[in-house]
Structure 1
């Protein structure tokens, strides 16, 4: 993967400094901080932690950025959104990755941070049922499966949407995140908003049925599904693909069954309403082609950094991520931001003070 990525990035490097300078030109004094002198002149180290959902993309992007800014070291630790917000709020990191918004229980002071959208991706519903592929799962059926109301794979609710499938009486094992997770927030938020059956609420952590199994990070959930016949769980497309999991087609707001894909994610983004703080909700968006469990992801940055060098490094990296770095997204199973949202995210960086 690294060889292929670098092969695609290297032709872009000559244009990187120009793209970075153009993108940063709208912000007065902060444009200078964002690296108009060229990223190759930057040096220093950034520490970050957070969401595992976008980790595959962030790691490839960080490696590619090292070609542009060889004297800058960026360490992103995939801890989960909950831990990422906690460490950011405690001042242990320079920025944080999160798929969920900052809540009242998160130790992040209101007004001290900004949301910077980066990419989006589908949350797959992956399962392990040998010999059964291409399952279609309705929204109400999903809710009943994941709260334990439907217990076997040959349940009439599943069979009705899959008349040609030979469904066994295998017990269903629910696989979920054991850590505080934005992936959990978005998945349960989808079930909470789209169905009448869902009773477990939504959040980074919910109380799953007692006989379910929890795994740490998306990779942990993927591992449970791989190892457990009859298991079903929610996993980002990058990790689900890397683990060679089987996906279900999920019913969307238009009543169509759609497989998780970048095209379906992009269709879901088109109808998303963006709030003033740049948070947005593409879940269950209208459109026949929209994949319904499309999740955003953000980087949290501080409104003010005590160290001017840290502010400069953060702005320069994120400016690159929102310009040249977007070209890396699709190869890692993420959808780049729509142009209008990417422009708003770039403008968000101008608000960072030092």
Structure 2
């Protein structure tokens, strides 16, 4: 993932089975031959319809491209058309029955839970399956500063307007020996309804509760800075604005060769790497330990002070019906998710994401098998 911002701009609205570039159109479909008839060689069940539709999180669109390529390989003729419009839009389109499942960086809201159950055959609950994890980069544009250390308290003050210049004493204390300029800070936030925003604000609430009092949710609450649409928009805004800092998935920051700040949670400075995010993921707990609805309680993760853990991690879900699909759709959804959670994990590191821990894969397998 070494392409430029121009490469990011080439990411089109859908992901097709043609490769990892996430390019395509809403009209692209796979061949008419089913995977079974084409002689798929793996143990994946390749039944059901050839084309699935999904919509939502821009954070996971590159991971979806990896999963789709693996699905096409194991089940020739299959294809997922994924529209990366943002988590909020994805949840709405799923509830409206316009797509087979949603990709979302945030779970359904309390108000959406009953309407999602209505969509799933009249009372069947929707399940949240955590399939994609990755570090969120604090990408910055500060000429001459190759290494920058932040913590949750300073981030909370930057994104609420309490710290406004790069040579602020709080920043200087975290970066001894670094010549920070007396330049204004421009926070860049997601202006669309974004699960990345929700996760970022939950991190600030958990890790800096005395400083971040603005609240949480998919809409940015800080009240300062400049807004940008979608992950690619945040990247472009940071690139074009000297003194800017924005939260965006590490894969997108890497694509654009943006610098990413390190975070000190109290146990040492940690860079935004897949390995460090993986250490933090081990701290996450499930809301319910005995349910196939696998929503995570992320406060334990975001508040971790474990050494070598990078705590600002994005968790993205596939939101699916537990029951209520027609048989062709159910079989295809299960096929895609099974491949995504197994062989589809192999290419995630190169795309800036973290492979699922084995214990999580085992629980996902049980939930996927239970979909009807």
Which TM-score applies when normalising by structure 1? 0.87
Partner of 2:267: 255
Which residues of 2 match residues 1-354 of structure 1 at below 5 A? 17-18=42-43, 20=44, 35=45, 39=46, 43-106=49-112, 108-110=115-117, 111-195=124-208, 196-210=210-224, 212-252=225-265, 254-276=266-288, 277-280=293-296, 281=298, 282-353=301-372
Q: Following the alignment from structure 1 to structure 2, what is the Cα–Cα distance between the partners of residues 68 and 122?
A: 28
Q: Structure 1: which 5+ runs fail to align?
A: 7-13, 21-34
Q: Following the alignment from structure 1 to structure 2, what is the Cα–Cα distance between the partners of residues 312 and 199?
A: 45
- Report the CA distance between 1:4 and its aligned residue: 9.8
Q: How many residues align?
A: 326
- Report the CA distance between 1:346 and its aligned residue: 1.1
Q: Which of the two has greater helix per residue?
A: 1
Q: Structure 2: which 5+ runs fail to align?
A: 2-16, 22-38, 118-123
CA contact (8 A) 1:137 1:250 kept: yes
- Report the CA distance between 1:5 and its aligned residue: 7.1
Q: Following the alignment from structure 1 to structure 2, what is the Cα–Cα distance between the partners of residues 256 and 62?
A: 38
CA contact (8 A) 2:20 2:62 kept: no
CA contact (8 A) 1:268 1:286 kept: no
Q: Following the alignment from structure 1 to structure 2, what is the Cα–Cα distance between the partners of residues 101 and 256?
A: 31
- Report the CA distance between 1:42 and its aligned residue: 5.2
Per-residue CA deviations over 1:255-302 (Å, capped at 9, x if unaligned) read: 322110100111011222123232222323342011010121110111
Root-mean-square deviation (CA), in Å?
Answer: 2.2
Which TM-score applies when normalising by structure 2? 0.83
